[in-house]
Amino acid sequence: MGEFQYERISRELRQDIVGGLYRPGDRIPSEDELARRYGVSRMTARSAVSELVHEGVVYRMQGKGAFVAQSKIIRDVNSLAGFFQDMRERGLDPGSKVLRVETRRASQRELEQLGLSGAAEESVREVERIRFVSGEAVGYQRLVVPLHRVPEIASLDFRRQSFYAHLKEVGLPLRHAWQRMEAVIDPQIAALLSSPSQVPFFFIERVSYAADDQPVELLSSYFRADRYSYEVRIG
């Protein structure tokens, strides 16, 4: 046989999804139901569903079932817009939850990334946030800002205020940036976002600069790759 049982089951489920029998948000048959229907053990039915989960076609919720995933949100890599502005421009409903705000010394690695290798004793403000769209956690971001660039940051309320909007108000808008994009699978981040542990994430590290070519922020982001795609213009 050229096809294993779990492959047949996941193939037929996939066809039912692209064919529109199960639409985004719909529950697919339970593992027990699939096991009965195909005459296999539950572990085999589970393998079939796992394959779809790994592909991002389906996500699971314990105690509730397995559901067809939503389609993707497109982000413009070239844009220096912040998360809120970007989502609103797309007619979506952004949300944010601050996990942690702290002032501390920069690590050696952060100094290098920010191109501040020479500066010893540099203090930075660090902000950890979870990003939501329509109530669903879609991303995690860690923002590191050198205190000497934005001294008033210590008194900023990140629960109420957009950092990018603030930079514009104080005349320090971002002018250009450098970023590195990876695609990773990270169960810890997944757990933080209550998303399936095997969903791939875009991991993006960005260093942004103001008009004076000096760095203003180091932003590390994880966004669910089953929810986002990225557009780039070149040249």
Partner DNA sequence: AAGTGGTCTAGACCACAGA
Partner DNA sequence: CTGTGGTCTAGACCACTTG
Q: Is 231 a residue that touches a copy of itself (CB under 8 A)? A: yes
What is the nearest approach in angstroms of DNA to the Cβ of residue 66? 4
**Among a copy of itself, DNA, none, partner that 212 touches (CB below 5 to 8 angstroms by kind):** none
Count of beta carbons in the 10 Å neighbourhood of residue 234: 5
State yes or no: residue 115 binds a copy of itself (CB under 8 A).
Answer: no
List all residues 6 or more positions away from 163 whose beta carbon is below 8 Å from its beta carbon: 82, 127, 143, 145, 156, 217
Beta bridge partners of 101: 127
Min separation Cβ 48 and a copy of itself, Å: 12
Judge contact between 129 and 97, C-beta under 8 A: yes
Question: x/- string (CB under 8 A) for a copy of itself, residues 7-46?
Answer: ------------------------------------x---
Give least dist CB 86 to DNA, A: 30
Contact 96, 116 (CB under 8 A): no
CB 227 within 8 A of CB 192: no
Q: Which one of a copy of itself, DNA, none is in contact with 63 (Cβ closer than 5 to 8 A by kind)?
A: DNA
Residues 6 or more apart whose CB falls under 8 angstroms from that of 26 comprise 67, 68
* Least distance CB 210 / a copy of itself (angstroms): 11
Say which entry of a copy of itself, DNA, none residue 64 contacts (CB below 5 to 8 A, set by partner kind). DNA
CA dist 73 and 133 (Å) reads 10
Instruction: Find the shortest distance in angstroms from Cβ 13 to DNA.
Output: 11
Q: Is residue 30 classed exposed, middle or buried when 0-12, 13-18 and 19+ CB atoms within 10 A define those classes?
A: middle
Of 67 and 158, CB closest to DNA: 67
Q: Could you tell me if 206 and 219 are in contact, meaning their C-beta atoms sit under 8 angstroms apart? A: yes
Should residue 147 be labelled a site residue for a copy of itself when binding is judged by CB under 8 A?
Answer: no
The option from a copy of itself, DNA, none interacting with 46 (CB < 5 to 8 A, set by class) reads DNA
* Residue numbers 48-67 binding a copy of itself by CB under 8 A: 51, 54-56
The token pair at 206 is 């960005």
231 contact choice in a copy of itself, DNA, none (CB below 5 to 8 Å, kind-dependent): a copy of itself
- Residue 74's SS3 state is strand
The residues in 168-227 that bind a copy of itself, with binding defined as CB under 8 A, are: 174-187, 197-198, 200-202, 225
**DSSP-assigned letter for residue 107:** P
Binding site for a copy of itself (CB under 8 A): 43, 51, 54-56, 72, 74, 77-80, 174-187, 197-198, 200-202, 225, 229-235
